[in-house]
Chain A
Amino acid sequence: KQEVTQIPAALSVPEGENLVLNCSFTDSAIYNLQWFRQDPGKGLTSLLLIQSSQREQTSGRLNASLDKSSGRSTLYIAASQPGDSATYLCAVRSGTSYGKLTFGQGTILTVHP
């Protein structure tokens, strides 16, 4: 059974810092890994999707890496802004169950001015 863990559970940083969010998964047989952002009481916004054959994806100030063999992904946020404050969720698509995303518990990020 796939399990996804995100560390840290919460992170508070001053504006302008570069930061790294971590995600680990127990079964390396994945199709892809997706990073989401969730604002309080809202749905999920997809940030980046990395296919199992890829090592990283970039979008603006965000960079996500994937090391499938070690079961790890990181989300790097450059020059953080207060508007980046949200919960960041990592989800993996396992090879044994079509359509099923397994989520981590998320990292609650607060960027203070």
Chain B
Amino acid sequence: ETGVTQTPRHLVMGMTNKKSLKCEQHLGHNAMYWYKQSAKKPLELMFVYNFKEQTENNSVPSRFSPECPNSSHLFLHLHTLQPEDSALYLCASSRSMIGLAGGLDEQFFGPGTRLTVL
């Protein structure tokens, strides 16, 4: 596998369920990101991890819980979600998260998980 992979690709869950989204990057990058893409809204950054440490939480509700066990893996744990949380959840990675010349902070995206909350 190359690039950034995400599983599952599609997920349907009830509001009382607990599920997890998984992201894995095979690029040797150090920074990983979770984004949310809702219909008719721009992509929104949710979380940023750099060398396994969370560096940004963009005012995300606590029903979304990220986990980054190592620089290659990123999880998003979901519990008691609402129907308005239905969206495409995208994971991205970059070699660095600091603005450096040479495009070292260029972000590469996975295919996303299409989440539907009933």
Please list the residues of chain A having a beta carbon within 8 angstroms of any beta carbon in chain B.
Answer: 4, 31-32, 34, 36, 41-46, 49, 51, 53, 89, 91, 93, 95, 97-106
Contacts and interface: CB of A to CB of B under 8 A. Distances in A.
Given A42-B111, A89-B43, A98 B106 contact: no
Interface of B: 4, 6, 31, 33, 40-45, 48, 50, 55-56, 58, 88, 90, 92, 94, 97-99, 101, 103, 105-112, 114
A1 to B, nearest CB: 12
A28 B62 CA distance: 33
Given A93-B99, A99-B56, A46 B107 contact: yes
7 contacts: A32-B99, A53-B101, A98-B97, A99-B50, A99-B94, A100-B56, A103-B43
B103 A104 contact: no
Contact of B106 (A34, A89, A95, A106): A34
